[in-house]
Amino acid sequence: MKTRHALLLICLTGVAGSLTAPAIAQSTQQRIPLDTATVNRLGIVYQAVAAPESGDGARFAATVIASPQAVSELHAVHDGVLEGWQVQPGQRVSAGQLLAVLRSDSLAVMQQQWVAAAAQADLMAQALTRDKGLHADGIIATQRLQIAERDAAASSFEADALAAQLSRSGYGNSERAALRSGKTTAGLYYVKAPADGVITHLRHVTGDLITAGESVLAITGDSLWVTAEIPARLASLVATGQPLQLADHNAALTVRQLDQSVDTTSQTLGLLAEFSGPQTLLPGQVVTVVLPAREVGVVIPAEAVVRNGD
């Protein structure tokens, strides 16, 4: 089976002047005979041209990031002092696992308010139960029962609101029960894992003063993404749900988001793509994303292109 070869001679010169259309046609149709000696002397190399493959598209730098659909940074809810870490960087953790313990004076005040509100809610619930029995026996009026129902609902709402705030500080049902019984130290703040993942970075050391809203640690899940900026002129080559690949790693990606507005400064569009499976790459690592090749045309070897001047 014979293989068809093409010799590409691309010359960009800086010669002044212009060629007329007939002259251009004549020059493009000119045949240049080359014998073996001339080919060897000029160092001409023949190479077969081919249609573009999936890896022949434009390449752009991208950065590996944690999934934007999951929590990647845990922030302090209250001002406090870091009492100690319960995990190490690189450690895999499960949802609800204790990661760190802080001590917060503002949290101690909230805990005290919740204990008082919970006790008041219990008293109002007991009073409501008593008034329901009295109302059933005809001893108290309906208006008295309605007042008891209103007071019980208000006190229960206040206790539930404070309990919800405590839950953000790592206080679930068991921790609140221990707090109410006096079996735990007031002011302790528990940082727990929001989901399964791997600890990537601890932001502080034991004894640090941490302010509310400050990042405590970084965590990443099993799902990793990449973010990249591509020229707006190549936006037609990419669509949401389309597969992509990396040039420097054996990994497949799926496009999840392509910006619908162009950055006026760089004339680029932001791209987000998700890895199709677990990866050994780390957040912050720089990789190379390969865009799909254009369907029309052939691949020209880079060595066949010579630049001269402009």
The predicted-structure confidence for 72-120, as pLDDT tens digits, reads as follows 899 999 999 999 999 999 999 999 999 999 999 999 999 999 999 999 9
SS3 256: strand
Residue 6 pairs in a beta bridge with 47
What is the model's pLDDT at position 3? Answer: 44
What stretches of the chain adopt beta strand conformation (E)?
A: 59-66, 73-75, 80-85, 92-93, 98-103, 188-192, 197-202, 209-210, 215-220, 224-231, 243-246, 252-258, 268-275, 286-290
Which residues, 6+ apart, have CB-to-CB distance to 171 below 8 Å?
163, 179, 190
Proportion of the chain above pLDDT 90, given as a percent? 51
Using one digit for the tens of pLDDT, what is the confidence trace for 5-25? 444 444 433 333 444 555 555
d(CA 109, CA 87): 28
d(CA 268, CA 263): 5
d(CA 253, CA 226): 9
User: Order of strands across the sheet with 215-220?
Assistant: 73-75, 215-220, 197-202, 92-93
What type of residue sits at position 73? E
SS3 246: strand
Please give the torsion angle defined by the CA atoms of residues 72, 78, 83 and 86, in that order, rounded to the nearest 10 degrees.
Answer: -30
Which residues, 6+ apart, have CB-to-CB distance to 42 below 8 Å?
34
What is the model's pLDDT at position 19? Answer: 45
Distance of CA 174 to the CA centre of its chain: 32
Angle, alpha carbons 177-182-183 (nearest 5°) = 80
Model confidence pTM above 0.75 = no
The residue ranges of the chain whose pLDDT is under 70 are 1-29, 51-56, 294-296
What is the model's pLDDT at position 6? Answer: 45
What is the model's pLDDT at position 1? Answer: 44
